[in-house]
Amino acid sequence: MTNRTAIAEGLFTWPSDKPALLGSRCRECNIAEFPVKSSCPACGSQDVGVEQLPRRGKLWSWTIQGFMPKSPYNSGETPETFTPYGVGYVELPGAVCVEARLIENTPEQLSIGMEMELVIETLRYEQQGNEVVTFAFKAVE
Amino acid sequence: MDVAIVGIGIHPFGRTPGRSGLQQGAFAARQALSDAGVEWRDMQFGFGGSASAGSADALVNELGLTGLPFINVANGCATGGSAMISAYNAIKSGQYDIGIVVGFDKHDRGAFNADPRQMGIGEWYGESGLMLTTQFFAMKIQRYMDTHNISASTLAKVASKAFSNGAKNPNAWRREEIAEEEIASSTMISHPLTKFMFCAPGEGGAAMVLCRADHAHRYSDKPIYLKAATMRSRRYGSFEVFSPSQALQQVDGPTVDASRAAFELAGVGPEDIDVLQLQDTESGAEIMHMAENGFCEHGEQEALIQAGETRIGGRLPVNTDGGCIASGEPIGATGLRQIYETCLQLRGDAGPRQVPNTPKLGYTHVYGAPGVSAVTILQR
């Protein structure tokens, strides 16, 4: 059994059978933000609470990362083994529009407005078989 | 007190092995001084910046230790514009009569390699492959094309125009025409943008000598007046580069805000502008910036560009020197390169790329991370 570690603390509920992204919401102007911030990006108030964000939403825009990014990208891949990945913004209703990797990675699979859901995917394997996971969205089938 | 540009200088953009970014800045500064017929010791102040080629005030070591106040400006892609605003205010306030602005840079090959921590974002953002400006530009134009019916052919036409203008500019990096079909079929970097649609990080320098307008004719028989210089950062709800999340409701970006402020300050409108330089980090940016700066309605770019109206002989000549796409992007220098080109055009000295009918009013616009924009309006 490998150890599955989240890429960063506090980004999403983990470990969890039904993980959700964690955001902050301003108690003064009701603006939500991802990831959690200690103040509101709209009004600057420090009166913010943490909440779980909706797990489904609509694709706002997308692209496909066609070349392997330089460091700090850290997926364990080499330029030879690199697989292009989708990147998009997903509108989480009543909350915020979140940027994420997308499981789909061809133009044919992606279109603005399509329904997406949160998944947790493996980003890389480290020594001793430790697995680093991050959040992504994939099309709802 | 109005402000005039009386000296302009540029170091060729591209790659210059053996000459540091700082030396390219000094080269441009010497040319601007010579153009105005003044000496370095005549400069009462300096503002300048570079993103990755060292501290601009080290220029005084190259140009002479005269004791002048030289202030480093670091404002991402708006560095040149911000240096210009600082100089504008320094003269407008009556504090100084004459001074210099310098911008230069020298970047490594390949895409910009931003550090999430410098932007206040966690390391996870870069590690998971989201810290790329190219993705932002691609996603912005992807949505824009969907909303406003812009075609992929129009994206390619913007780049092909840039190379065509660059071919007429001895200071451009890319000086060969590239056909629209070749641009469209080059490697897809970040859908829908291909390799030849993007500018590349490069090298170069540009400089201007500015003085109070009532002294302008002492230095130049073709002074160019700086009618407005504005800069804005983003408001909440504007879609910007390096945003792990954004608002569900969009508002106008810093370009719209800086542009409106500049037109108000200059007392003119977009319809009065004869030649314009817009930030063209890639083809899509030029298209969107045409509307964000007020030069057309959203979606009108498709017909304008297909009809060739943004070419040098067209109704709305955009990026007459080849823009960032043909010149490359040395962050600290780009804003001042645009002003250099606009001064040349307004002086009537742009040679084979001269906009016809003696343009009177010019416009420059830069946009950059993490959501800043600077605009100038220049008048003959």
Tell me the chain B residues in contact with residue A69 when contact means C-beta distances shorter than 8 Å: 111, 129, 131-132
Would you state the pLDDT for residue A128?
82
Tell me the chain B residues in contact with residue A97 when contact means C-beta distances shorter than 8 Å: 245-248
Residue B350, beta-bridge partner list: none
Least CB-CB distance to A99: which of B127, B146, B245?
A: B245
Would you state the pLDDT for residue A2?
66
Q: Is-contact B250 B292, C-beta < 8 A?
A: no
Q: What's the domain count of chain B?
A: 1
Instruction: State the Cα–Cα distance between residues B172 and B176, nearest whole angstrom.
Output: 10
Residue B231, beta-bridge partner list: B374
- Residue A1 above 70 pLDDT? no
Q: Is-contact B238 B254, C-beta < 8 A?
A: yes
User: Which tokens belong to B108?
Assistant: 């490594």
Would you state the pLDDT for residue B56?
74
Residue B56 domain flag: yes
Q: Nearest chain B Cα to A31, which residue?
A: B247
Half-sphere exposure of B34 (CA within 13 A, CB side): 9
Q: What is the mean pLDDT of each run of 10 residues along chain B (380 residues)?
A: 95 95 96 98 95 82 93 87 94 97 89 72 95 95 98 98 98 96 97 96 96 98 97 94 94 97 98 98 97 98 98 97 96 96 98 97 92 95
Would you state the pLDDT for residue B119?
74
Least CB-CB distance to B135: which of A7, A71, A87?
A: A87
Q: What is the mean pLDDT of residues A106-116?
A: 98
Instruction: State the Cα–Cα distance between residues B9 and A25, nearest whole angstrom.
Output: 50
Domains of chain A by residue range: 4-139
User: What residues make up the domain containing B333?
Assistant: 3-109+199-379
Q: Nearest chain A Cα to B114, which residue?
A: A72
User: Which tokens belong to B264?
Assistant: 């108000």
Least CB-CB distance to A64: which of B111, B190, B243?
A: B190
The percent helix, strand, coil of chain B (3-state, each to 5) is 40, 20, 40
Note the pLDDT tens digit of each residue in B303-340.
999 999 999 999 999 999 999 999 999 999 999 999 99
Would you state the pLDDT for residue B251?
95
Q: Testing the interface with B: which of A61, A85, A97, A133 to mutate, by most B Cβ within 10 A?
A: A61
Residue B117 domain flag: no
A25 touching chain B per CB within 8 A: no
Q: How does DSSP assign B29-95, residue by residue? A: HHHHHHHHT--GGG---EEEE-SSS--GGGHHHHH------EEE--BTBTHHHHHHHHHHHHHHTTS
Would you state the pLDDT for residue B112?
67
Q: Nearest chain A Cα to B113, which residue?
A: A70
What are the Cα distances from residue B133, in Å, to B111, B127, B243, B302, B372? 8, 15, 10, 24, 14
What are the helix and strand counts (H, E) for chain B? 13, 12
Residue B138 domain flag: no
Residue B193 domain flag: no
Measured on CA atoms in the order A15, A16, A20, A25, is the torsion positive or negative? Answer: negative
Contact B245 A123 (CB under 8 A): no
Would you state the pLDDT for residue B111?
65
Note the pLDDT tens digit of each residue in A25-60.
999 999 999 999 999 999 999 999 999 999 999 999
Residue identified by tokens 């009004």 is A43
Least CB-CB distance to B248: which of A8, A96, A107?
A: A96
Burial of B224 (0-12, 13-18, 19+ CB in 10 A): buried
Tell me the chain B residues in contact with residue A70 when contact means C-beta distances shorter than 8 Å: 110-111, 113
Tell me the chain A residues in contact with residue B149 when contact means C-beta distances shorter than 8 Å: none
Instruction: State the Cα–Cα distance between residues B327 and B337, nearest whole angstrom.
Output: 9
The CATH number linked to B34 is 3.40.47.10
Residues above pLDDT 70, as percent of chain A: 99
User: Which tokens belong to A94?
Assistant: 């009543």
pTM (two decimals): 0.95
pLDDT band per the 50, 70, 90 thresholds, residue A129: confident
Contact A67 B244 (CB under 8 A): no
Residue B76 domain flag: yes
Q: What is the mean pLDDT of residues A127-133?
A: 89
Would you state the pLDDT for residue B76?
81
The percent helix, strand, coil of chain A (3-state, each to 5) is 5, 45, 55
Note the pLDDT tens digit of each residue in B16-26.
999 999 999 99
Would you state the pLDDT for residue B190?
97
A23 touching chain B per CB within 8 A: yes
A30 touching chain B per CB within 8 A: no
